């Protein structure tokens, strides 16, 4: 088992030629998952070469037409491509059988569970395709989708994202793009291997699928800047694995430390923290600590509770690593009510934990402490995502360390 490279069983099987669900037996909800052993560097099972012939379905033609219109191409040109261009436009690769390049994109979707689900949800599909974890594409798409929140909130439009990771063969890549064509999806990809990226682009163009290489402009800008060509090797490639970097150990240590220090535990270790967060219950100390630990910072958090003294060590350590968290009382009450409900306390639950008067008093108490410790920056977390509060803390930390005119977080590679 150790170090072996047995392939994944079911989940990594390539989709059937038309992108439909496998035979009903493996689709049935009560059938046991076929997968039993997932090991390092899973490799896909080779697809059985399909002998379907490429033809443009009415649906595909509609999609191609509308996409051509959007992109400014002349409608109908895809039709011409479909009959003439398979030899010249389609990506050519040694691992690619000629038959694979000529697979029908069909209309029939009755037995495709996923497509049925998609139809029920009726959102526009976005495929994120990656040769690695796909987290970079996911992060970028999440950020980009933030630009369309105005539209999602009232559900005037809806989007379904699909993350398809560890795509390391041309066959699977083409299957995915075919499926994207079928679903009328947008394809956003990060593929380190330039020949894979180019094939993705060509196949998308060929099947009328809009597509964008998410990371290419950034990689190329860096390549040109440092005068070094990118390796073209995916992060998940075995040839790039095996190093245990300093960074790895730093992160692990930070997470270990942060968990042990959660919620005021072990005040004798506060001096070992990079940051100490102080705030009343439910100001987000724990998730914020954990987020910062993931970034490699050791974080301790200390709850401020009325009638309970803060640990003495808090005032003995370097004061410039301590941060206060504050929040709007109305929002805090809402969070605490949700929390009380999540813990299984009904509306009749008798406690002052979520009562407005108590919430206000606690925040006044916290702010008195902050006023007595002017060295502590106080960060209002109301309406901020965890990432946003973390960004403020990390920036202040680096500003103080660098003592430089321009606030910036610097790192050396």
Binding to its own copies, residues 149-178 (CB under 8 A): 149-152, 156-166, 175-176
The least CB distance from residue 267 to its own copies, in Å, is 18
Q: Does 179 bind its own copies (CB under 8 A)?
A: yes
Which one of residues 188, 203, 314, 354 is an interface residue with its own copies (CB under 8 A)? 188
In the β-sheet with 322-326, what is the strand arrangement from edge to edge? 299-303, 275-279, 322-326, 378-380
To its own copies, the closest distance from the beta carbon of 83 in angstroms equals 26
Q: Which residues pair with 227 in a beta bridge?
A: none
Residue of 103, 214, 273, 317 interacting with its own copies (CB under 8 A): 214
Scanning 81-89, 102-110, 123-131, 304-312 for contacts with its own copies by CB under 8 A, the matching segment is: 123-131
Half-sphere CA count of 100, side-chain side, radius 13 A: 25
- Rounded to a whole number of angstroms, the minimum distance from the CB of residue 153 to its own copies is 8
Beta bridge partners of 300: 276
Q: Shortest Cβ distance from residue 46 to its own copies (Å)?
A: 16
Q: Which span (21-29, 54-62, 273-281, 302-310) binds its own copies, by CB under 8 A?
A: 21-29
- The answer to the question of residue 322 lying near its own copies (CB under 8 A) is no
Residue 403: exposed, middle, or buried by beta-carbon count in 10 A (0-12, 13-18, 19+)?
Answer: exposed
Smallest CA-to-CA distance from 289 within 312, 246, 318, 255 is with 255
Contact region with its own copies (CB under 8 A), list: 87-95, 273-281, 300-308, 333-341: 333-341
Rounded CA-CA distance 20/111 in Å is 7
Select from 84-92, 116-124, 269-277, 309-317 the region that touches its own copies (CB under 8 A): 116-124
Q: Within positions 75 to 104, which residues make up the interface with its own copies, using CB under 8 A?
A: none
Min separation Cβ 119 and its own copies, Å: 13
Q: Which is nearer to its own copies, 83 or 240 (CB)?
A: 240
Asked whether the beta carbons of 327 and 381 are under 8 A apart, the reply is: yes
CB distance 7 to 40 below 8 Å: no
User: Could you give the count of Cα atoms lying within 13 Å of 46 in the half-sphere of its Cβ?
Assistant: 5
Site size with its own copies, rule: CB under 8 A = 168
Is 43 a binder of its own copies (CB under 8 A)?
no
Three-point CA angle 29, 30, 31, nearest 5°: 100
Q: How far apart are CA 342 and CA 357, in angstroms?
A: 22
The CB-of-62 to its own copies minimum distance in angstroms stands at: 15
Give whole-number Cα distances, 39 to 8, 164, 240, 319, 325, in Å.
7, 18, 17, 47, 43
What span, in angstroms and rounded, lies between the C-alpha atoms of 82 and 64?
11
- Does 244 bind its own copies (CB under 8 A)? Our answer is yes
**x/- string (CB under 8 A) for its own copies, residues 339-378?**
---x--------------------x---x--xx--xxxxx
208 forms part of the interface with its own copies (CB under 8 A): no
């Amino acid at each position: 088992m150790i170090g072996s490279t047995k392939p994944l069983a079911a989940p990594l099987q390539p989709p059937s030629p038309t992108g439909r669900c496998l035979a009903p037996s493996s689709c049935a909800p009560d059938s046991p998952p076929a997968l039993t052993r997932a090991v390092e560097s899973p490799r896909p099972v080779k697809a059985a070469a399909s002998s379907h012939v490429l033809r443009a379905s009415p649906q595909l033609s509609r999609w191609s037409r509308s996409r051509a219109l959007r992109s400014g191409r002349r409608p109908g040109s895809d039709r011409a491509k479909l009959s003439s261009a398979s030899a010249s436009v389609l990506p050519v690769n040694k691992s690619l059988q000629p038959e694979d390049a000529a697979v029908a994109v069909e209309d029939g979707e009755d037995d495709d569970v996923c497509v049925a689900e998609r139809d029920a949800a009726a959102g526009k599909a976005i495929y994120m395709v990656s040769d690695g974890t796909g987290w970079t594409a996911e992060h970028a798409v999440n950020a980009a989708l933030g630009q369309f929140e105005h539209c999602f909130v009232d559900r005037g439009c809806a989007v379904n994202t699909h993350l398809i990771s560890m795509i390391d063969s041309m066959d699977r890549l083409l299957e995915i793009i075919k499926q994207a064509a079928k679903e009328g999806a947008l394809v956003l990809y990060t593929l380190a291997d330039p020949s894979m990226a180019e094939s993705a682009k060509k196949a998308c163009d060929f099947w009328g699928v809009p597509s964008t290489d998410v990371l290419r402009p950034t990689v190329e800008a860096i390549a040109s800047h440092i005068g070094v060509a990118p390796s073209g090797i995916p992060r998940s490639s075995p040839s790039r694995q095996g190093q245990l970097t300093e960074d790895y150990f730093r992160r692990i240590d930070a997470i270990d430390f942060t968990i042990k220090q959660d919620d005021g535990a072990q005040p004798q270790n506060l001096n070992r923290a990079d940051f100490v967060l102080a705030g009343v219950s439910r100001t987000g100390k724990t998730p914020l600590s954990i987020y910062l630990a993931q970034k490699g910072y050791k974080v301790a958090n200390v709850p401020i509770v009325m009638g309970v003294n803060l640990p003495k060590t808090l005032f003995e350590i370097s004061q410039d690593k301590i941060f206060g968290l504050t929040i709007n009382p109305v929002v805090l009450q809402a969070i605490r009510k949700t929390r009380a409900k999540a813990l299984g306390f009904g509306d009749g639950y008798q406690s002052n934990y979520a009562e407005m008067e108590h919430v206000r008093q606690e925040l006044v108490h916290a702010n008195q402490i902050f006023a007595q410790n002017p060295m502590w920056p106080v960060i209002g977390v109301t309406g901020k995502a965890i990432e946003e509060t973390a960004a403020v803390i990390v920036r202040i930390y680096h500003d103080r360390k660098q003592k430089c005119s321009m606030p910036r977080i610097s790192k050396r590679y």
